[in-house]
Structure 1
Amino acid sequence: MTVRDTGNSTINVAVIYYSETGSVKALAAAAAEGATTTGADVRLLSVEAASSADMEWADVVLFGTPSHYGTIAAGLKTFIDSTGDLWRAGKLADKVYGAFVSSASTHGGQETTLTNFTTIFTHWGGIIVPPGFTAPVPLVEQMLSGNPHGAGHVAGFGIPPTKFALDAARHQAERAVMVAAQLMGTRLLGGLH
């Protein structure tokens, strides 16, 4: 097995999201902010702006989606399905992956949506880094902001993400970069907050 040489000591992070009401976009911005605090080079990309080149460039890829009937929204899934050439070439393997989600209701399919990502990342040979309950805040706050699979938000009818949800997305991104840095032997500038 060979270790992929990125040519530099910076961790490259792609935060790729599909948003319909703005909730996932806000979570994505918070995730990008969290990754930036570590000193990573970050690309915050709507799925419409993202490309295969962004996937190949990244050491860490974080996806954001609304939950549609308990699964990944078609707008993002179409992009993911377009990565077959990268997958066949082995260019999606050995990267750190994670995902975050927004749903309309408390039981709107967040966990099943996030486990759908797990299946995809496994096929790619990716390294799945969920947040778990690892944030340096009280457990009750972590439980208000998603689940151990990924940061989440219950948008209801246009409710913007809470401070807890935004903090969870920041933490998830910081954690993903920290794990990638450990795997790559890279020293972080900002560390994990």
Structure 2
Amino acid sequence: MAKVNLAVIYYSSTGTNYQLAKWAEEGAKNAGAEVKLVKVPELAPKEAIASNPAWEKHLEETKDVPTAAHEDLEWADAIIFSVPTRFGNMPAQMRQFIDTTGGLWAEGKLVNKVVSAMSSASNAHGGQEATILSLYTSMFHWGAIIAGPGYTDPVQFASGGNPYGVSVTVGQDGQMQEDVEEAAKHQAKRTVQVAEWVKQGKQ
């Protein structure tokens, strides 16, 4: 069977969700997938970015990461999203990207994509679960298949136990408060595995 094509699509202002995306990329490659790591466009005004040195630095450091395009969605058998929480929802940058997919949706090109998501916030109950679920709401409209990690591996408990997707708390120092590297890799592996089942069934 042909390799699973996985798109890891992220938005990150200061680097946390970029790191989650990189771990997912590594986990998916280890599971045998062909992987594209892409970011959605930054929409924030330059003044806002300039007011936060960490944001400005991260934007410069990731300037060469390819920008997500509709072609990536068509190519992908599976998609992992990595986004920070904004008041319990995905950030506007990711929302805007998803909102441009109406043409693909109308043509049925998003049906049966296997999807999973990860998130972060600056406190333990800052909306990580709500953010992931808000993203999944759009995926149900796509006709996608959600591959949440559930409790399919003990690593879930060691990383906070979020069954909807890996989530992490980021302290005021910008550092992750939980060790979620292995959980992110497991979530990617599970997403690839489910996509393999779907792809095999479609052949």
* Counterpart code for 2:184: A
1:41 corresponds to which residue? 34
After TM superposition, which residue ranges in structure 1, 4 or more long, deviate above 4 angstroms?
Answer: none
Deviations 1:5-61 (A, max 9, x none): xxx711000000000110000000000111000111000111130000001100001
Please state how far the C-alpha of 1:110 moved relative to its aligned partner.
0.7
Which residue does 2:121 correspond to in 1?
Answer: 103
More strand by share: 1
Given residue 156 of structure 1, which amino acid in structure 2 is its aligned partner? G
Q: 1:40 to 1:59 in 2, by over 3 A?
A: same
Partner amino acid, structure 2, of 1:157: Q
Q: Does the alignment pair 1:141 with 2:158?
A: yes
Letter of the structure 2 residue corresponding to residue 83 of structure 1: T
- Work out the CA distance in 1 between the residues paired with 2:28 and 2:178: 17
SS in structure 2 of the partner of residue 170 of structure 1 = helix
Deviation at 1:185, TM superposition (A): 1.9
- 8 Å contact from structure 1 (residues 28, 64) kept in 2: yes
Per the alignment, do residues 162 and 58 of structure 1 end up closer, same or farther by CA in structure 2, a change over 3 Å counting? farther
Matched, 1:16 2:33: no
Same amino acid, percent of matched pairs: 43
Kindly indicate whether residue 106 of structure 2 is the aligned counterpart of residue 88 of structure 1.
yes
Aligned residues: 176
CA distance in 2, matches of 1:101, 1:161: 12
Q: Compare the two structures and name the one with the higher helix fraction.
A: 2
The residue number in structure 1 matching 2:172 is 157
Unaligned runs of 5+ in 1: 1-7, 187-193
Please identify the structure whose Cα radius of gyration is greater. Answer: 2
What is residue 52 of structure 1 aligned with on the other side? 70
**Is residue 185 of structure 1 aligned with residue 200 of structure 2?**
yes
Cα contact 1:26–1:161 (8 A) shared by 2: no
Pair 1:169 & 2:184 matched: yes
TM-score (norm 1): 0.86
* Structure 2 SS opposite 1:116: helix
Q: Which residue of 2 aligns with 1:76?
A: 94
Shift of 1:162: 5.7
What per-residue deviation string (whole Å, max 9, x for no partner) do you get for residues 134-164 of structure 1? 1243x6404x2x5100011111224333673
Using structure 2 for the length normalisation, give the TM-score.
0.82
